[in-house]
């Protein structure tokens, strides 16, 4: 098929807090040959390891504010360098126009998937979210509960509720997203790589994302 390409593929997934970026990313990784890199997961692993970057990032994240552009961009660019031979999916980066510009100096996105989920749906979801910090796997008490409450299906380790899922921090995260997203979408629209996906539920959005990507990258054979 002519649309299937040999070169490494660069995809970005954007969307408001709890819009389903992580959930849809795990389905993309399951079905397509891509490495997943989430800015938020990366920061949480730095916090768990108590690195200087992690300690600094936590002061911003707990309030629902963005980690400074220079810190975040350096982290992401360094991680992308480690997987540059592979096709990758970048989740939750860039979050400012500045970050988009820094990324563009290193890598050009082939597609930018933007999730558009109604705000009232998002607020409901966050309360039920449980996360396995070291892998980034997410569950929801309503939508995809773990087999055993409070325990990760794969490792058997404890799940936690994120500090920034408290209502005040969620409100701030949503405001921050709204304040920053438009110039980023304009930027990628201008580059001809933006694709919007609207819907209330992941199971409604996912088939459309799958169809879109199937025309661009090879599916996994195993
Ligand atoms: P994160 O970690 O990137 P957010 O706020 O962008 O955090 P989040 O919260 O990780 O995004 P998500 O990945 O979009 O959400 O969504 P998800 O986890 O897949 O789904 C949310 C919940 O809904 C889960 O419980 C899931 O099971 C459930 N769910 C999914 N679909 C459905 C459905 O259809 N129905 C129902 N009922 N439930 C569903 O970033 C965190 C912080 O890190 C910093 C910032 O401080 C940020 O606030 N940060 C950055 N700072 C600067 N620059 C960057 N680029 C940064 N990246 C991160
Ligand atoms: Mg996420």
Tens digit of each residue's pLDDT (9 = 90 or more) over 125-167: 888 899 999 999 999 998 999 999 999 999 999 999 988 888 7
Q: Phi and psi dihedrals of 114, rounded to 5?
A: -115, 120
d(CA 95, CA 9): 21
Residue 125 annotated in active site: no
Structure tokens at 104: 């563009």
Residue 95 annotated in active site: yes
* Residues with C-beta less than 6 Å from any ligand 1 atom: 15, 17-23, 38-40, 43, 60-61, 64-67, 72, 92-95, 99, 125, 129, 138-140, 142-144, 164, 173, 201-203
d(CA 109, CA 88): 10
Cα–ligand 1 centroid distance for 21 (angstroms): 6
Q: Which residues surround ligand 2, an ion (CB under 5 A)?
A: 21-22
**DSSP code of 18?**
T
Cα–ligand 2 centroid distance for 22 (angstroms): 4
Regions of the chain with pLDDT less than 70: 1-6, 222
Q: Which of 21, 58, 125, 137 is the catalytic position? A: 21
């Amino acid at each position: 098929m002519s649309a299937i390409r040999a070169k490494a593929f660069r995809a970005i997934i954007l969307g408001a807090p709890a819009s389903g970026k992580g959930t849809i990313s795990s389905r993309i990784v399951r079905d397509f040959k891509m490495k997943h890199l989430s800015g938020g997961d990366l920061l949480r692993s730095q916090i768990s390891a108590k690195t200087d970057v992690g300690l600094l990032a936590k002061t911003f994240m707990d309030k629902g504010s963005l980690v400074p552009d220079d810190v975040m961009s350096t982290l992401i660019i360094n991680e992308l360098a480690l997987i540059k031979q592979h096709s990758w999916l970048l989740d939750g980066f860039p979050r400012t126009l500045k970050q988009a510009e820094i990324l563009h100096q290193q890598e050009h996105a082939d597609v930018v998937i933007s999730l558009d989920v109604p705000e009232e749906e998002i607020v409901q979801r966050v309360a039920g979210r449980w996360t396995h910090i070291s892998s980034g796997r997410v569950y929801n008490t309503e939508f995809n509960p773990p087999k055993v409450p409070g325990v990760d299906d794969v490792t058997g380790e404890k799940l936690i509720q994120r500090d920034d899922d408290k209502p005040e921090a969620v409100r701030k995260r949503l405001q921050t997203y709204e304040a920053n997203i438009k110039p980023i979408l304009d930027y990628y629209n201008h580059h001809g790589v933006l694709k919007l996906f609207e819907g209330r539920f992941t199971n409604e959005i996912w088939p459309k994302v799958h169809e879109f990507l199937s025309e661009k990258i090879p599916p996994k054979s195993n």
